[in-house]
Structure 1
Amino acid sequence: MAYQALYRTWRPQRFADVVGQEHVTKTLQHALLQQKTTHAYLFSGPRGTGKTSAAKILAKAVNCEHAPTGEPCNECAVCRGITDGTIPDVIEIDAASNTGVDDIRDIRDKVKYAPSVVKYKVYIIDEVHMLSIGAFNALLKTLEEPPKHVIFILATTEPHKIPLTIVSRCQRFDFKRITSRDIFKRLAYIAGETGIAYDEQALNIIAHAAEGGMRDALSLLDQAVSFSEGKVRVEDALTVTGSISQNDFTRLAQAIQKKDAAECLDLVGSLLQQGKDPSRLVEDFILYFRDLLLYKTAPQMEEAVQRVYLDEAFKEMSRSLQTQEIYRFIDILNQTQQDMRFSNMARVYLEVAFIKLCEEKAPDPGENDLVRKLAEKIERLESELESLKQNGVPEADETEPAPKRQAQRKIPRTSKGFKVQVGRIHDILKEATKEDLKRIKNSWNDMIETLNSRQMRSQAALLNEAEPVAASPNAFVIKFKYEIHCQMAMENEKFLQAISSVLGELTGTGYQAAGVPENEWNTIRENYIHHHKEEAEEEKPQEDPVVTEAIKLFGPELIEIKD
C-alpha cells in the first residue's frame, strides 16, 4: 500500500480527536444526545482547525446505527461507509470548483429525494464563500426550509464573504486557532503511536511554526521525519520550519547586553547565510523578548510563555535584563519590522537595528532614584503652593510677642518680582469718591463679558477673583484674591489697556487701574487712615486760653476776635 500522509492517517474520526475545539464538540454532542440537531450549520475558522473533520463526524453521528449518541461508533456499516466515502447520501462538495448557479440548482433538485441508505442526507459544502452571488441566491430558499431528511454543513475560512441572509439561516460555530501546547500534546501522542523518535524541543518548534493549524503541524512533522535520520532532532525541526533556535536568540541577547555589535552582526550574518528570512528573524526575536518580559514580570505564569523553553540560560537572561531595556528592544525591533515591509533592502534594516540595540544605554539605577526624589520634591512644593493659593498667607503665630506680630501685620508681603505701588494707592484714596466706585462696580460684570466677547479670555480670567475697592475720578484700586494673579495683571500692559478702554466705553471715563493683593489691602488701608488722622490733628490751629475763657463767660455770639 502506498504511504499515506500523517494528516490523512490521523484525521479525527471522533469528536474527542478534534483538538482544541471543545466549545464546538461539546455543543454538537449535547445536541445529538437530545436529538436537537438543526437543518443547517456553518463552521468557520482558520485552516487546519478541524472544520471538515467535524462535519464528517457529525454526519456519521446523526446516521450511526446506535443513534442517538454523542460519538459515532466507527464500527457499524454506516460509520465505515461514510469514512470510506461509499455512502451516497453524504455528499461532500468543493465550492471552489462548483461555484455556479447550475451546480446549486442540481443540489436543489436532488435534495427533495429521500436518502437511500441512511436516515439523513448530509451536504458538506467546503469553502462555501467561493460561491457566486447567483449560487447563494439559488441556495437561499432550500437552505431555509429543506426537507426533514436533509442537513447542510457549510465550512469556510472567510465567513465575512458569506451573505448575511445565508449566515442567519445557519447555526454558526467559530473554530479557533489551536494553542501550541495542544498541538504539542497531539504531536507527541501521534509520534508515540507511530513509533517516531523525537526530541521534545523539536516537536515544540514544529507546534509553534504551525501557527494554530493541526494539519500544518502534521505536515511539518511528516517532513521532519523524512529529513531526519532515525530521530527528529531540534536541528531537523529548525531546518524544516525555517525557524531559529532559542540558543541563537539567547546568544544574540547576550551580545546585545554586552554592547558587542561585532558579535551581533557576525551571528546575524551566519543566520542569513543559513537561509533564514530577515523578517522572520525579527518577528521571532520580538516574540523571544515578549516571553522574556512575561517571565520576568510574572514568573508564576509559565503557561503564558509560548515560544521558549525555560532553561537556565533563559532564566539568567530574564534576571540580568531590566524591564525598561526589554521595552526599548521590542520598540526598536517593531519599528524595524515596519520599515522592512516597504523596502527591498531588508538586510540593511536588520543590521542597523542590531547596531541600535547594542548602542542603547541601560538606565542607571542611581539616576532613576535621583529623578524619583526630584519628582517627589516638586510634587510636594506644588502641593504647598496650591495650599497657599487656596488658603492665603497663614496668620501670625499668637504665641509670638505682640510687637513682632504688629510688625508682621504692617509690613506687606510681596513676591520677588512684584512690589505694590503703595504711594499710588494712597493718592487714589485721597481723591476717592463713592460715586466713582459705584459707577465702576455697576459696570464690572459688563466689562468681563465684553472682554470675553472680544476673545480676551485670558484678561477676563484674571478678573474672576478680583473686585474694585476704591476709585477716584481718574483711577481705581483692584483687590485680587491671590498675589500671583495681581502680579500677572499689573505686569501685563495689554491687560491694563484693555480694562481702561472697556471701562471708558461703559462709563465715559478711562480709569487707570492699580492692583493690590487681598492680604495687603487691609494693611495699606489701615495705614492710610491712621496717617490721615495724624495729619489732620497737626493741621488743626491751637486755641488761645483767654479767648476760650471769654467765650465761656459771655457766649460766642457776643465775642469778636481780632488779631
Structure 2
Amino acid sequence: NSGKSLDIIEIDAASNTGVDNIRELRETVALSPSSLRYKIYIIDEAHMLSTGAFNALLKTLEEPPAFVIFILATTEIHKIPDTIISRCQRFDFTRLSFSHIIEKLSLIAKKEKVQIEKEALEMIALASEGGMRDAESLLGQIISLEDKNITAKEVQEITGSSDKKNVAILAKCIIEKKSSQAISVINELSADGIDLQVLAKSTINYLRQVLLLKVSPQLKKYLSYELTAEQIEKMIDLTKISQTEEIVSAIDFLNEAQNKISSSVIPQLPLEMAVIKSTGKIPSRKKENEMERKFFEEEKLTSSSGSILEKEEEKILKQETSEKEENRQEKISPVPAPKALLKEKQELEEKKEINPDLDIEKIRLNWKKLLLDIHPYNHSLSAFLSNCVAKKLEKNKVILATPYSFYQEKLSAPENRLTIEKVLGNILKANVYIEVEIDRNVVAPKEEKTPEKEGRQDSLIDDALEIMGGKIVEQ
C-alpha cells in the first residue's frame, strides 16, 4: 500500500544492455522474496538489450523459479527477438482517452493538494499523447517547479505548447474567412513569445480534427485520445459552416508555412500569408488555373478559325525550313498538326462560298508553278507531287491522284497537307483543301528535257534516292 517493496525490482534496459548485467540478474533470481509471494522484475525499454543479453536471459525465461515473474516493457515490440516473444505472454496497451487522463491527473492533483486549472490539465494530457506515465511524469515536474496553484499559462511556458483556446479561435477565424482577426491572433501570440511553429502545428492538427468530423461524424471515436466530448461538439458545429476542400486547402497552406517559419526574415509572415490564402483573399492555384483555361477558351471562340490555322501553318513551315537548312541529311520528324484544328478547317472551308473562278483546268495549268513554289518549303514534297495529278474539284476540295500508296500516305500527312493547301491557295488566290487518293491508271505529266529541266530532274531523283534510301542501278 505504501508503494515500496524490496521484491519489486525495476531495471532500465537502456542503462544495462550488456551480458554482464543479465548474469548479475540471473544470480539474484534464485533468492526467495523477502515479504511478498512473488519477486517481480520489470525490465523497462526491453528492446534496448543487446543480442548477447537476450541470449543470456533466454534460459532463465524458459525455466524461471516458481516465485519469479518477469515483466518486459517496450514501445518497439518489433525489436524484441522472436525467441523471447515466444516464451512470454503478450499484452498490448492502447493509448488512454483524453478524458481518462484528465480524470486521473485531477485525482493526483487533489491528493497532492494542488489547485490546477482545467485548461492546464488539458495541455498536459495533450502533451502526453495518450500515455498515462508521461502525463504523470509531466505533472510531477510542473508541481515541483510551481506553487500549489498551477495555471494554464504556466503549463504553456513549461511545455512550450499552444493554448487550446487560442488555437480554436485561430482555426475558427480561418474557417469563417475572417483574415483580419486571424492575423491579429497570430501577431498577439507572437508578441507573447509563443513558438509560431508549435502554433502552426497545433492549428493544423485542429483543422485535421475538424476535417475528419466533416468527412464523417463516426470518426469522432478516434479523437477521444486528444479531445473532450465538449471540444468535439464544438468542432462538429464548425463542420456545418465549412467546406471540405476549403479545410484541405487551409491545411496545405499552413503546412507549407510551418516549413518556412524558421527561415523567414519575419517569423509570422508565412503564417499570415497562409491565412490570407486560406480565407480566399487571393485566388487559389485551382481558381487561377480555371480562370486561365476559361480565358483561353473565350479567346479561341472570339478569334477567327482562319487566323488560328494560318499561325499553325506558318509555325510548321518555319520549323521544317529551319530544320532542313541545319541538316539536310537528317531525317526530320514531322510536327503533327492538331486533329481538332484540321477538322475545324475542313468544316470552315466547306461553309465558305465557292470561288467562281476556281476550276480544275486552272489548277492543272498552275501545277508546274506549285512544284516550283513548294520546293523551298519541302523539296521532298515537290518530288511527291511531281508524280501526282489534279484529278477533280469538288466545291473547294481538290482531289489529287497518285498511283503509289507510299506517296498517298506522305501527301496525306497533316503537316504536308497544310503546306500544299497554303502554297496552292496563294497561287489560286482562293481557300482550298486537298484530298489524296490512289489511282493506278494515273500517269504523271512528262516535261521536255532541257538542260535546266534535266538539272531539276536530277535534283528530284536525288531527293527520291534520299527519301527511299535507294541507288541508281542503270542510267
Question: What residue in structure 2 maps to residue 354 of structure 1?
Answer: 272
Kept in 1: contact 2:6–2:34 (CA 8 A): no
2:58 is equivalent to residue 140 of structure 1: yes
Question: What residue in structure 2 maps to residue 280 of structure 1?
Answer: 198
Q: CA deviation at 1:331?
A: 0.6
Distance 1:156 1:346, change over 3 A: farther
Q: Distance in 2 between matches of 1:182 and 1:212?
A: 9
2:250 is equivalent to residue 329 of structure 1: yes
Distance 1:270 1:227, change over 3 A: farther
Q: Distance in 2 between matches of 1:318 and 1:214?
A: 31
Distance 1:141 1:339, change over 3 A: farther
Kept in 2: contact 1:291–1:307 (CA 8 A): no
Of 45, 48, 64 in structure 2, the residue corresponding to residue 130 of structure 1 is 48
Distance 1:243 1:316, change over 3 A: same
Question: What residue in structure 1 maps to residue 6 of structure 2?
Answer: 86
Q: CA deviation at 1:138?
A: 2.0
Kept in 1: contact 2:411–2:436 (CA 8 A): no
Of 123, 128, 134 in structure 2, the residue corresponding to residue 205 of structure 1 is 123
Question: Between Structure 1 and Structure 2, whose CA radius of gyration is higher?
Answer: 1
For residue 86 of structure 1, what is the amino acid of its counterpart?
Answer: L
Q: CA deviation at 1:183?
A: 0.8
Question: What residue in structure 2 maps to residue 436 of structure 1?
Answer: none
Q: CA deviation at 1:330?
A: 0.3
For residue 84 of structure 1, what is the amino acid of its counterpart?
Answer: K
Kept in 2: contact 1:223–1:240 (CA 8 A): no
Kept in 1: contact 2:214–2:239 (CA 8 A): yes
Q: CA deviation at 1:226?
A: 6.7
Kept in 1: contact 2:410–2:416 (CA 8 A): no
> What SS does structure 2 have at the residue aligned with 1:85?
coil
Q: Distance in 2 between matches of 1:315 and 1:95?
A: 45
Q: CA deviation at 1:325?
A: 1.7
Q: Distance in 1 between matches of 2:246 and 2:32?
A: 69
Distance 1:321 1:348, change over 3 A: farther
Any residues of structure 2 matched to 1:354-373 within 5 Å, and which? 354-360=272-278, 362=280
Q: CA deviation at 1:290?
A: 1.8
TM-score normalised over the length of structure 2: 0.52
Q: Distance in 1 between matches of 2:416 and 2:12?
A: 80
Of 159, 162, 171 in structure 1, the residue corresponding to residue 80 of structure 2 is 162
Question: What residue in structure 2 maps to residue 178 of structure 1?
Answer: 96
> What SS does structure 2 have at the residue aligned with 1:146?
coil
2:107 is equivalent to residue 107 of structure 1: no
Q: Distance in 2 between matches of 1:292 and 1:513?
A: 65
Structure 2 unaligned spans of 5+: 294-342, 348-400, 418-434, 439-475
**Which deviates more from structure 2 when the two are superposed, residues 313-322 or residues 281-290?**
313-322
Superposed CA RMSD:
4.8
Distance 1:114 1:230, change over 3 A: closer
For residue 254 of structure 2, what is the amino acid of its counterpart?
Answer: L
Distance 1:300 1:235, change over 3 A: farther
Kept in 1: contact 2:402–2:437 (CA 8 A): no
Q: Distance in 2 between matches of 1:312 and 1:106?
A: 55
Kept in 1: contact 2:257–2:274 (CA 8 A): no
- What's the CA shift string for 1:143-186, capped at 9, x where partnerless? 23334443322223343443343333333323333232221222
Distance 1:183 1:156, change over 3 A: same
Question: What residue in structure 2 maps to residue 217 of structure 1?
Answer: 135
Kept in 2: contact 1:196–1:231 (CA 8 A): yes
Q: CA deviation at 1:317?
A: 4.8
Q: CA deviation at 1:491?
A: 4.8
2:243 is equivalent to residue 243 of structure 1: no
Kept in 2: contact 1:475–1:513 (CA 8 A): no
Distance 1:264 1:170, change over 3 A: same
Q: CA deviation at 1:315?
A: 6.5
Q: Distance in 2 between matches of 1:115 and 1:228?
A: 40
Q: Distance in 2 between matches of 1:473 and 1:258?
A: 69
Kept in 1: contact 2:95–2:131 (CA 8 A): yes
Kept in 2: contact 1:288–1:307 (CA 8 A): no
TM-score normalised over the length of structure 1: 0.45
Q: Distance in 2 between matches of 1:189 and 1:154?
A: 28
- Count matched residues: 313
Q: Distance in 1 between matches of 2:63 and 2:19?
A: 19
Distance 1:272 1:297, change over 3 A: same
Kept in 2: contact 1:104–1:139 (CA 8 A): yes
For residue 4 of structure 2, what is the amino acid of its counterpart?
Answer: D
Question: What residue in structure 1 maps to residue 69 of structure 2?
Answer: 151
Question: What residue in structure 1 maps to residue 330 of structure 2?
Answer: none
For residue 102 of structure 2, what is the amino acid of its counterpart?
Answer: F
Distance 1:359 1:138, change over 3 A: closer
Q: Distance in 2 between matches of 1:194 and 1:173?
A: 31
Q: Distance in 2 between matches of 1:139 and 1:312?
A: 51
